[in-house]
Structure 1
């Protein structure tokens, strides 16, 4: 029995996320997930992406090159990271000009700190293939970007592990960190008459959103939801995330970790066997979560969820239309941005996304009306969650033309034709 019942038992943290102790802990989590979590995909021998970075270790130095791995089988690691300012943070990219050079060699010294750390982690975990977006996609080729973006769902879903530089705001911040000494376990002095057992104490680790800047990025939401396993390198500790739950070094993963709860909250979004209405509501939940996050380019609003849409399409009966679904189109159109008083809402001049899609405006905090509505008759009569009967509009035609080969990505144009009852009303502005 503890003499301090109000103190929560916890574990010690490694203190250095680059230390052998931290890597051993990560390897234990990985092995446990692989061997004991039936809910988690093994992904031990899968079809590889088009390109991967192949890691060789010669002496004490890494030698890297971009490999064409299409139609090959194996296992690989993905990196989830913040780019930051591309020029200020020295982010190396694969371009049309250096593509052939990268097939031969990617100079170690040209890599940012985050890339170097991710490659080191991959190697120490016993793996030698890693997928990094800026290096495995030809950045100045729109055709290559569109093609690879359409494969994003399978790239993350088939990965063996995703390494997340969760404490970093830019590519130069790296993955590794040292914990504040206040959060390291220290022995408590005992009297000579006390028991022989040692008692250690440390301050609780902060788990606020400021500790996880990566998780504020829009692209990262689908990377988390699609990845079967994610190893977070946080500001103070390592955190493991998979379909079975969240585990952290400090053993307090269930307390005040709002940024990390979103994966477990949405984890059923891709689960098989749920009723269609569940998938409808889950998709709207994901959109609401996504619209709170940041994107460098507003044109990425649809591509950044395209991977999730690709996966969910297997469980939906209708087409995907610019972030909405044909089998729930009327309710999906009933979105608004809470707290926004701008009229009209901000919209990019070159945006081709149809105005009936939430992705057509640059704003946060999307909310839906009548998310509990369900059809009860073939004449388009619906019942809402408060048992009010409504006759919804009839959709006569709905179409979207994608900008590229990915129907889940950017939109060139879209239109909906519908008919609905009209009411006579007066709109007055109240001072």
Structure 2
């Protein structure tokens, strides 16, 4: 049972924390003073269309608007209505599409949902007149029917649904309206998050099946003989309590793992989640769940973004404030890259509205998922090809060495992560994280020290398709001045098992003797390739079998405790074509190196010791003499 006055043990550990709610309809005799009787008053109705559920949602909104000044600082100022919006009508008046006039203002609800790409119920040239004239509510798909009912219950007139308010057969209209997404969600009074609806045909107000995890027997002290054995049994629903162990948003749905819904969630003023088990309210004041009425504050990504939007800079701590804003951006990216995208063209558009919102705070150039003022740190992303997550770069080398010395059984390799499907390696510039093959494996350095940047950003050239700087791009070239060195590598063909996800360069290490070729190995020891190799039907991975020349450029240095760390970008020359034949040599980023000197007192097992040895030799090789500085144009 939840106890808000005790937040964990004194030693910092946590125990299970549960809320217990009695199922709707369970009989509790009057006068029973037992704990379970008191819990029974916190009923969770199984029918989300019930007066109790709809009233609770309306009460949450009413109390938030009335009692939370931080949630509605501009409540007396109505926003301009979107280009088109659904007028939900009334029980006797059918919903219809309203085309707004110039300067028309109002209040609306936004719907966030996972729709089917092939849904026939959309706004297009042939459906426009019917939607504008009005259709019976029964003709709408169940998810949209439910959204209309909730909007009416909240006492609001307008509902914005992307599929019905944007022409789905007009690419120009789609481009224009997608660029307005930030304003649509940030100015909506509340956003309905239909997390339990997998498609438009599912609905989210269907009767909930009671989640009876167990039956809870209790004894009535005042009537011990009222039931057999003096005990009464009643089914109860257990809900996870509030603790840092619980995620800050529902995770058991397609909606919660969609790349598109993240910006709809984070930009909203308020959120009304309809999950499979309960309703959840989220606003700047915190989060509330059934049957609770008052929100409680918990640190979430939503709250971090809202604090950034509400903050004001002062000249004396402007630098620290900017660093905090960049940190929130990387937290957003961390969440975003873990989500699913279905189209190779969605990577930047699906986060464009959040970027637009951040641009208001940062007031600097947006560079394909990164920011000009923090671009050099942004370039330090790396791709983890395994499910090992965000472990140290040396882990991949360590696995190679373990296999070389038959340490497989003692230190098994984790299963491979499944690369993001349907995404092309050509969707973004190679130097940005959007150009990686597997977004789910992207991380940034976790070192907390200060970074000393050795490269300088000279110019960023953007060719975007939407002309707002936040959506799809046709190309983006980055020009850097940096210390450089050329290096030749030789790679070969190898077979990759799903249980041995190792990078191309790291696999090449297993074909050589680390003792005889230490220096050569050290030069490529911590290579983190940005792109996964293509696979044949037999599962073989094909890599170049001839020597290739790569260019290393020193990007930044920092420290982990007393040990300095050096980050080096690995570039590859591009072939000249007619378009750039007369221009400067152009490069593509292919990986990242992280190097540091050897540590005398290291673990004694062979993988750790050899990894540290190679890191140390590579670090000394790179830093023993000053590198010349050159200019590099990276696509």
TM-score over 0.5 for the pair = yes
Alpha-carbon distance in structure 1 between the residues aligned to 2:479 and 2:179: 28
Distance 1:391 1:216 in 2: 35
**Residue of structure 1 in register with 2:85 after alignment:** 52
Corresponding position: 1:406 with 2:468: yes
How far did residue 430 of structure 1 move?
1.3
Q: Distance in 2 between matches of 1:43 and 1:37?
A: 11
SS in 2 for 1:413: strand
User: Within 2, Cα distance between the matches of 1:7 and 1:281?
Assistant: 32
User: Which residue in 2 is equivalent to 1:421?
Assistant: 483
Distance change in 2, residues 1:323/1:183 (3 Å): same
**Is the Cα–Cα contact under 8 Å of residues 79 and 162 in structure 1 kept in the other structure?**
yes
Which of 10, 27, 32 is the aligned partner of 2:63? 32
Indicate the residue corresponding to 1:212 in structure 2. Answer: 253
2:341 is matched with which residue?
295
Q: 220, 233, 239: which is aligned to 1:190?
A: 220
Q: Alpha-carbon deviation of 1:390?
A: 3.2
1:247 aligns with 2:247: no
Asked if structure 1 preserves the Cα contact closer than 8 Å seen for 2:455 and 2:482, the reply is: yes
Change (3 A) 1:346 1:268: same
Counterpart Cα distance in 2 of 1:265 and 1:200: 41
Corresponding residue number in structure 1 for 2:52: 21
Deviations 1:127-177 (A, max 9, x none): 110000001011111111111111111100000111111112111111113
Contact 1:49–1:70 at 8 Å: present in 2 too?
no
1:242 Cα shift? 0.9
Rate the CA distance shift 1:405–1:99 in 2: closer, same or farther, 3 A: farther
> How far is the alpha carbon of 1:36 from its aligned partner?
1.2
- Which region of structure 1 is more displaced relative to structure 2, 24-33 or 171-180? 171-180
Aligned counterparts, 1:256-271, within 5 A: 261-264=300-303, 266-271=305-310
Cα distance 1:235–1:324, how it changes in 2: closer, same or farther (>3 A)? same
Is the aligned partner of 1:312 residue 2:353?
Answer: no
Q: CA RMSD in A?
A: 3.5
Q: Any idea what SS the aligned residue of 2:85 has?
A: strand
Residue 354 (structure 1) aligned with residue 429 (structure 2): yes
Distance in 2 between the 1:205 and 1:8 partners? 5
CA deviations 1:243-283 (Å, max 9, x no partner) are 1111100559999xx9x944335443433226001111111
The residue matched to 1:211 in structure 2 has which SS? coil
Counterpart-to-counterpart distance in 2, 1:91 and 1:345: 27
Displacement, 1:226?
Answer: 0.6
Alignment partner of 1:151 out of 169, 180, 192: 180
Task: Give the Cα separation in 2 of the matches to 1:177 and 1:397.
Answer: 55
Matched-pair contact (CA < 8 Å) for 1:347–1:362: no
- Which range is displaced more, 165-174 or 260-269? 260-269
Contact 1:396/1:419 (8 A) holds in 2:
yes
* Number of equivalent positions: 404
> Is the Cα contact below 8 Å between 1:75 and 1:159 reproduced in 2?
yes
CA contact (8 A) 1:51 1:69 kept: no
Aligned-pair distance for 1:189?
5.7
Give the TM-score normalised by the residue count of structure 2: 0.58
| Kept after mapping to 2: 8 A contact 1:49/1:69 | no
Residue matched to 1:168: 197
CA distance in 1, matches of 2:429, 2:18: 55
Which structure is higher in RCO with an 8 Å CA cutoff and minimum separation 6?
A: 1
Q: Which runs of 5+ in 1 are unaligned?
A: 373-384
TM-score, L = length of structure 1:
0.83
Please say if residues 195 and 254 of structure 2, whose CA atoms lie closer than 8 Å, have aligned partners that are also in contact: yes
Distance 1:160 1:71, change over 3 A: same
Pair 205,177 (structure 1): closer, same or farther in 2 beyond 3 Å: farther
- Structure 2 CA distance for partners of 1:300 and 1:337, relative to 1, 3 Å: same
Structure with larger Rg: 2
Q: Which of 354, 371, 393 is equivalent to 1:325? A: 371
Determine whether 1:181 maps to 2:207.
no
- Specify the alignment match of 1:237 in structure 2: 278
Runs of 4+ in 1 over 6 A off after TM superposition: 184-187, 198-201, 252-255, 344-347
1:99-148: CA deviation from partner (whole Å, max 9, x where unpaired): 23322224534421100110111112111100000010111111111111
8 Å CA contact 1:345–1:361 kept in 2: the answer is: no
